[in-house]
């Protein structure tokens, strides 16, 4: 848990005023021991009853004025000796986490659980990851764009599509901004977007949300190798930012030193064909043409102990927009990036940029070309080779922080059985 005194550089003898919330409270005789929390972390405050105005309770908001005292026994090495504690907003005595804690409670009272040290630490890391990625894109000359969320056709297949009544007609919630990002390519060449994406996932697993934050770049002229270079560079920048800038909270997670080697070493690129051969050792029934499931991904990623690109998947199990490999038309120029503790975190590919071939893919995937008329237009007016990918930001957090479940990578996670609070 973040230590407030270190964060704001308190020194012995400082006179300070701090505002925050009562994280923990203990009364011994006439003395109060208050652990004060604010966005910088925690500090222990010692107060005499006489110095308090208002009613102290866990989660009451307070303003404290006092003197900083060095104390080896205090967490963080400093205590605040209060001369004055003023209650700003009282807290009801039935704070739900007084009673007990459980995963269900953490979900039912999510709006309050966000104040826990664990959530505070996750969201600090999340913010660091997003800001590192944003500044990476800025430095590399990308433009950030804002694609729509209401859409008229599927990007990633009908089975996970949310549909809705749109003034008597049909519309869908976006599964990916990709098709719209492709429309920006002839205008801005290098673009990216961070948007909510929606998947009507019926599966209840530790890595599936129905709403997640999807980070997607799309780049003119890049081929599928360039596309993997970009993924590796971007994700390493984000990992590095976490390891360098978030030491204040990394202690709240399991030992994360393995991430140092993920940053240092080159990530292997293996072809789907070879991946299938490798997993056969453990899953003898798997055959060419099968998708790699959670178990197979876990087996591979444990074997390598580092993020791994798997490339050239069978055309039949991947999306219609992926470019077919001219050297072997049974496979596409794509990659999944699988990462320790979670499996797939990125899906990317070179896009089919020739109109005839794209139409062929659309019919092979039994889609209606009418639904993609505007997308096909992009191939009619100065089409070019281009590539892009999508990163699930929550899955990335699960991997780098070794979180038990994807619910803890997001403040208000949505699943099949949950849209509250
Ligand atoms: O592999 P996906 O489906 O790829 C696309 O949507 C492409 N159109 C992206 C692109 O090329 N611009 O999804 C991309 C990533 C996955 O690798 C995963 O990390 C995340 O999105 N993702 C999910 N995360 C949480 N819950 C779900 N239900 C997810 N579905 C996909
Ligand atoms: Mg995928």
pLDDT digits (tens, 9 = 90+) for 236-260: 999 999 999 999 999 999 999 999 9
Q: Tell me: the pLDDT tens digits for 371-411?
A: 999 999 999 999 999 999 999 999 999 999 999 999 999 99
**Residue with CA at minimum distance from ligand 1 atom 17:** 346
- Domain 111-409, classified CATH 3.40.50.2300, yes or no: no
127-153 pLDDT tens trace: 999 999 999 999 999 999 999 999 999
**Res 1 pLDDT > 80:** no
Residue 87: predicted pLDDT: 98
**Phi and psi, residue 61, nearest 5°:** -90, 140
Ligand 1: residue of 151, 153, 158, 176 to mutate (most ligand atoms within 8 A of CB) is: 176
- Confidence bin at 47 (pLDDT 50/70/90): very high
The H-or-E segment that residue 389 falls in is strand 386-392
pLDDT of residue 99: 78
Look at residue 98 in the predicted model and tell me its pLDDT.
86
Give the whole-angstrom CA distance, residue 415 versus residue 207: 11
What local confidence, expressed as pLDDT, does residue 201 receive? Answer: 86
Structure tokens at 28: 């011994």
Q: Give the residue from 143, 140, 142, 161 showing the smallest Cα distance to 152.
A: 161
Q: Is 205:298 a contact under the CB 8 Å cutoff? A: no
Whether ligand 1 lies within 6 angstroms of the CB of 389 is answered as yes
CA of 336 to the centre of ligand 2 (A): 6
Ligand at shortest distance from the CA of 346: 1
List the chain domain ranges: 4-93, 111-409
Backbone angles phi, psi at 275, to 5 degrees: -60, -45
> What is the rounded CA–CA span in Å between residue 249 and residue 123?
10
Q: Is 393 in the pocket of ligand 1 (CB under 6 A)?
A: no
> What would the mean pLDDT of 345-368 be, rounded to a whole number?
97
pLDDT of residue 73: 87
Q: Residue 233: pLDDT above 80?
A: yes
Integer CA distances (angstroms), 59 to 96, 110, 223, 252, in order = 11, 15, 53, 21
pLDDT at 75 (0 to 100): 80
Which residues lie at CB < 5 A from ion ligand 2? Answer: 347
- Three-state SS at 399: helix
Q: What is the fold of 4-93? A: OB fold (Dihydrolipoamide Acetyltransferase, E2P) (2.40.50)
Q: How confident is the model at residue 74, as a pLDDT?
A: 85
Nearest Cα to Cα of residue 32 among 85, 94, 71, 78: 85
Task: Inform me whether the pLDDT recorded for 214 exceeds 80.
Answer: yes
Instruction: State the pLDDT at residue 311.
Output: 98
- Cα 365 from Cα 318, distance rounded (Å): 9
67-96 confidence digits (pLDDT tens): 999 998 888 899 999 999 999 999 999 999
- Residue 262 is predicted with a pLDDT of 98
**How confident is the model at residue 46, as a pLDDT?**
97
- Is the Cβ atom of 83 under 6 angstroms away from ligand 1? no
Q: Report the predicted TM-score, pTM, of the whole model to 2 decimal places.
A: 0.97
In short, whether 348's Cβ falls inside 6 Å of ligand 1 is: yes
CB 66 within 8 A of CB 45: yes
Q: Mean pLDDT throughout 262-287?
A: 97
Q: Which atom of ligand 1 is nearest to the CA of 349?
A: 11
Which pairs from 26-34 meet CB under 8 Å and 24+ separation? 32/56, 32/85, 34/62, 34/64, 34/82, 34/85
392 in ligand 1 pocket by Cβ < 6 Å? yes
Sheet holding 343-350, edge to edge: 143-144, 190-198, 211-220, 386-392, 343-350, 334-339, 308-311, 269-271
In terms of Cα–Cα distance, which of 398, 405, 390, 415 is closest to 209?
A: 415
The Cα 304–Cα 405 span in angstroms is 22
Per-residue confidence (pLDDT) for residue 100, from 0 to 100:
81
Neighbours of 118 (CB within 10 A): 16
Of 78, 43, 50, 82, nearest to 66 (Cα)?
82
> In the prediction, which pLDDT does 63 show?
98
Please work out whether the CB of residue 291 comes within 6 Å of at least one atom of ligand 1: no
307-337 pLDDT, tens digit each: 999 999 999 999 999 999 999 999 999 999 9
Chain-wide mean pLDDT for the chain?
A: 97
Structure tokens at 21: 């919330």
């Amino acid at each position: 848990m973040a230590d407030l005194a270190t964060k704001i550089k308190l020194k012995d003898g400082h006179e300070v005023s701090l505002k925050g919330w009562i994280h923990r409270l203990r009364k011994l005789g006439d003395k109060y021991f208050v652990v004060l929390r604010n966005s910088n972390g925690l500090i222990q405050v010692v107060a005499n009853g006489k110095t308090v105005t208002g009613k102290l309770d866990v989660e009451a908001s307070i303003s404290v004025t006092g003197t900083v005292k060095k104390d080896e026994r205090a967490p963080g090495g400093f205590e605040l000796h209060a001369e004055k504690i003023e209650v700003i907003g009282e807290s009801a005595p039935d704070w739900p986490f007084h009673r007990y804690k459980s995963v269900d409670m953490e979900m039912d009272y999510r709006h309050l659980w966000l104040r826990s040290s664990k959530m505070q630490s996750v969201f600090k890391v999340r913010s660091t990851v997003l800001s590192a990625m944003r500044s990476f894109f800025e430095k590399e000359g990308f433009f950030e764009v804002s694609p729509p969320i209401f859409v008229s056709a599927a990007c990633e297949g009908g089975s996970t599509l949310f549909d809705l009544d749109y003034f008597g007609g049909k519309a869908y919630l976006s599964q990916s901004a990709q098709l719209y990002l492709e429309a920006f390519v002839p205008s801005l060449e290098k673009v990216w977007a961070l948007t909510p994406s929606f998947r009507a996932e019926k599966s209840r697993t530790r890595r599936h949300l129905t709403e997640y934050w999807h980070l997607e770049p799309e780049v003119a002229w890049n081929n599928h190798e360039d596309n993997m270079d970009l993924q590796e560079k971007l994700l390493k920048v984000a990992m590095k930012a976490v390891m360098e800038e978030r030491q204040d909270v990394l202690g709240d997670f399991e030992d994360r030193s393995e991430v140092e080697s993920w940053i240092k070493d080159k990530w292997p690129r293996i072809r789907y064909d070879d991946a299938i051969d490798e997993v056969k050792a453990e899953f003898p029934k798997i055959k060419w043409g099968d998708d790699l499931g959670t178990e197979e991904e876990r087996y591979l990623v444990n074997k390598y102990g580092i993020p791994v690109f798997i490339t050239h998947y069978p055309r039949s199990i991947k999306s219609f927009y992926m470019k077919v490999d001219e050297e072997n038309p049974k496979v596409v120029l794509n990659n999944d990036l699988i990462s320790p503790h979670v499996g797939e975190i990125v899906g990317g590919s070179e896009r089919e940029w020739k109109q005839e071939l794209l139409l062929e893919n659309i019919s092979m995937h039994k889609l209606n070309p009418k639904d993609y008329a505007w997308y096909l237009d992009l191939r009619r007016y100065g089409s070019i080779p281009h590539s892009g990918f999508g990163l699930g930001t929550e899955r990335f957090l699960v991997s780098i922080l070794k979180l038990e479940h994807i619910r803890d990578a997001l403040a208000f996670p949505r699943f099949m059985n949950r849209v509250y609070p």
